[in-house]
């Protein structure tokens, strides 16, 4: 793998623009459970479609609120890991567009700026009917969704639920970043959820080098130029340190 790392470091060092797509795997070493992993204990009896859909919220807003509040509490409790920090550092060394499917806000907390959050952010809230922003500091201390002062509808987490469309502006910027980059790093995503799963293919079609970092192979693996098998929190710091050294020599 070391030969491949060297090659990837070179691609990154000379790339004019880099796009990174991340998924749940990048937050694994921070201790954030995936959606399904989180459905244990008290929550094991519920169906994800009930907890993460507009219909489920309409039927039982308090239940959905408390499920997301518990996850927001978890996300607030953990810290960004060396993988998040390495990507923030890469953003200081090179022009990087960072696209994430994660809703935990850890990239921003590690210092990455302008993160394109395809699936929203669990720490943000908006009202159900009109989407009015509703800042709520500690949702886990609130038992029922608060009422929007502007329109009277209920607060919900600002995340994308089953059956909902992704925010058009974010998706357009993600598409553009994928089509314009010279190198794309795909980190910790199973590549099963659309439309995020298509972004690496757009990058590849427009001639970018495609690199995947994941301990396990995915449907994308056979299409990439380099596959670096391992945890993001180990591989990313190693790669970015290499880029930094190479740039320092130039």
Catalytic positions, please?
119
Residue 215 binds to ligand APR (criterion: CB under 6 A): yes
Task: Decide: 46 and 56 in contact? Cβ < 8 Å.
Answer: no
Return the closest-CA partner of residue 202 out of 186, 218, 215: 186
C-alpha angle 77-71-46 in degrees, rounded to nearest 5 = 150
**Contact track, ligand APR, 97-116, x by CB under 6 A:** ----x---------------
60 binds ligand APR (CB under 6 A): no
Residues 6+ apart with CB under 8 A from 23: 100, 101, 102, 187, 188, 189, 190, 191, 196
Helix (H) or strand (E) holding 133: none
Of 12, 150, 141, the residue nearest 70 (C-alpha): 141
Beta strands, E only, 94-133: 96-100, 115-117, 120-127
Structure tokens at 29: 């070493």
* Rounded Cα–Cα distance for residues 93 and 67 (Å): 39
The answer to whether residue 218 forms part of the interface with ligand APR (CB under 6 A) is yes
Among 73, 190, 221, 229, binds ligand APR (CB under 6 A): 190
From the list 27-35, 90-98, 149-157, 173-181, the region that binds ligand APR by CB under 6 A is 27-35
Which of 2, 40, 169, 216 lies at the binding interface for ligand APR (CB under 6 A)?
216
Nearer to ligand APR, 121 or 189 (CB): 189
Under rule CB under 6 A, residue 25 binds ligand APR: yes
Looking at 24, 75, 166, 177, which residue binds ligand APR (CB under 6 A)?
24
Of 151 and 193, which has the nearer Cβ to ligand APR? 193
Taking CB under 6 A as the rule, does residue 28 contact ligand APR?
yes
Q: Which residues contribute to the site for ligand APR (CB under 6 A)?
A: 23-25, 28-29, 34-35, 101, 119, 188-190, 192-193, 214-216, 218, 231-232
């Amino acid at each position: 793998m070391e030969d491949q790392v060297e090659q990837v470091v070179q691609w990154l060092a000379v790339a004019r623009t880099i796009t990174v797509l991340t998924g749940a795997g990048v937050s694994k070493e921070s201790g954030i459970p995936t959606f399904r992993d989180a459905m244990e204990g008290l929550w094991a009896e519920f169906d994800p479609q009930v907890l993460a859909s507009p219909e489920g919220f309409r039927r039982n807003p308090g239940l959905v609120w408390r499920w997301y509040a518990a996850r927001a509490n978890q996300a607030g409790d953990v810290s960004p890991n060396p993988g998040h920090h390495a990507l923030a550092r890469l953003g200081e060394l090179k022009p990087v567009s960072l696209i994430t499917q994660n809703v935990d806000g850890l990239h921003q907390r590690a210092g990455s700026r302008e993160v394109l959050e395809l699936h929203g952010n669990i720490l943000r809230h908006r009202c159900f009917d009109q989407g009015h922003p509703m800042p709520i500091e500690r949702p886990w201390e609130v038992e029922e969704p608060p009422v929007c002062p502007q329109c009277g509808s209920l607060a919900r987490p600002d995340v994308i639920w089953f059956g909902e469309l992704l925010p058009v502006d974010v998706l357009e910027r993600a598409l553009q970043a994928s089509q314009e980059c010279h190198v794309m790093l795909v980190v910790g995503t199973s590549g099963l959820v659309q439309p995020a799963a298509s972004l690496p293919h757009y990058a590849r079609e427009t001639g970018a080098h495609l690199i995947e970092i994941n301990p396990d192979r995915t449907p994308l693996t056979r299409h990439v130029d380099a596959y670096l098998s391992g945890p993001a929190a180990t591989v990313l710091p190693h790669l970015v340190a290499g880029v930094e050294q190479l740039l320092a020599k130039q």
